[in-house]
A and B are shown apart, each in its own frame.
Chain A
Amino acid sequence: MNIVAQTLAWLTDPANWQGPNGIPVRTAEQVAISGTSLLIAVLIALPIGLWIGHTGRGTTVGVNVANLGRALPSLAVIGIMLPITAALDPQLGFKVYPTLIAMVILAVPPILVNAQTGVGEVDRELVEAARGMGFAEHHLLARVEMPIALPVILGGLRSASVQVVSTATLGAVVGFGGLGRYIVDGVSQNDDGQLYGGVVLVAGLALLTEASFGLLQHVLTSPGLRLERAGASETAMWVAPEAAARP
């Protein structure tokens, strides 16, 4: 009860809603770095994933990249980047780049592998039919394969966004602001109100992000696909590829 009261007191204290360490600024920092890294990751991963899925070339490479990406602990990536980027740029290289680069590296695998499997799993008969109707390859990809694969592609974005928001929180450890700041400071200053306030904000943002992508996924999925696809796309990253391919 004490903890709840402390948390509420911290969250409702007007002082915590102002200035460079205020909740609005910290939230904006977290959202900005998350959005930027997700955008960069999409620009890198989506074309490659679509190309692999469409041509069927490099499928093994794609799966290996995804597996390797999963083996990278986020803190380890931030840690590895820190000395390198700090040497290149003493200001941002310490605060922003390690976290940003780690976020991009961790967001690429789910986007790539879902784009690849989504497009790759489109019924080959549909693709052949479209070819027979005279679709050029890029039209085939844009008008047949991508709309059908869209739920799976968005599922990849959804996993990536969760990963990204989580990693942005870790950025607080290396001096990036964001909402993780409150957690790190709360632990080091033994300030439970701040700690739990941070936990509530961070968890809230993560759940909101995940729910928004879920909603987007639902809205953008063609009604004809909704029934058969229900539940399939969101879990694509959690199942190892060969097991998912099991008949």
Chain B
Amino acid sequence: MIDWAWLADHLDAIVLRTVQHVYLTAIALTVGFAISFVLALWVVRRRMLYGPVIGVAGILFTIPSLALFAALVPITGLSVLTAVVPLVLYTLVIFIHNIVTGLEGVPAEVVEAASGMGYSRGQRLWQVELPLAIPLLVAGLRVASVSTIGLVTISALIGDAYGGLGFFITEGIRHSFPTEIYTGAILSMALAVVADLIFVRLQRRITPWSRARAAGSPAPVTPR
């Protein structure tokens, strides 16, 4: 059922596509987070804008991925932008929602105490509110990374130049070659699981105070 010889012959390609999958995901997450961060800070201060902003981001999220990738082909051609722009757009609703929820979840007493100690608005944001919002920021990164890794595979439908491990899925479907389909499918799922675990570890590392609370909550992805 699995053609091991093919796997052995294509190790180089598999490594290359895995690296491509990771960098497409990393670019999308970085750009998406940066845009969302700015928008989130803006709507936290002007609450009435939250509805419209999250609404537009939600509409983008609803558009089926094949449609969004394909819609860019005549405009951006088969460049890296065609792969990355939709990936970025899909992360917005996740990041904006989680950053805003995280910042607004900071207890009012804490904010007041910080102001009372003489923190300026900027200092309060960077030294008090954001650290307390980290669990939700990382939760957003977890959801967005898993979803982006899945979407990268779909970008392979647009052309062979990008698509990361999704390239093997589409090529395998074209040639009716199960080994290649399984290679792409299983490795991309493995990437998603690994990304999720990395962000959970990261969160435990940078917010040791939440460890006691997290101990009682369900383990993510795989029981260990």
Contact = CB atoms under 8 A, between A and B. Distances in A.
B64 A67 contact: no
Q: Is the interface of B mostly helix, strand, loop or mixed?
A: helix
A199 B71 contact: yes
Interface string B173-215: 1001010011011101100110010000000000000100110
A173 B135 contact: no
Interface in A54-68: 59-60, 63-64, 67-68
B223 A60 contact: yes
B52 interface: no
Contact of A76 (B59, B61, B94, B185): B185
Contacts of B221: 64, 67-68, 71
Interface in B93-114: 93-94, 97-98, 101, 105
Interface string A44-82: 000000000000000110011001101111111101101
Contacts of B40: none
Interface in B68-113: 68, 70-71, 73-74, 93-94, 97-98, 101, 105
Chain B, interface size category, equals 35 or more
A189 to B, nearest CB: 12
B189 A71 contact: yes
Given A76-B184, A239-B139, A199 B70 contact: yes
Nearest to B220: A67
Interface stretch (A8-16, A142-150, A162-170): A162-170
Interface stretch (B9-17, B30-38, B147-155): B147-155
Contact of A79 (B94, B101, B147, B181): B181
Q: Which 8 A-B pairs have the closest CB atoms?
A: A73-B150, A243-B139, A76-B185, A166-B64, A71-B192, A83-B178, A242-B217, A240-B139
B63 A82 contact: no
A210 B62 contact: yes
Interface in A150-184: 162, 165-166, 169-170, 172-174, 180, 183-184
B118 interface: no
A242 B143 CA distance: 12
Q: Is the interface of A mostly helix, strand, loop or mixed?
A: helix
Interface in A69-115: 70-77, 79-80, 82-83, 86
B146 interface: yes
Given A71-B193, A79-B181, A169-B66, A246 B136 contact: yes
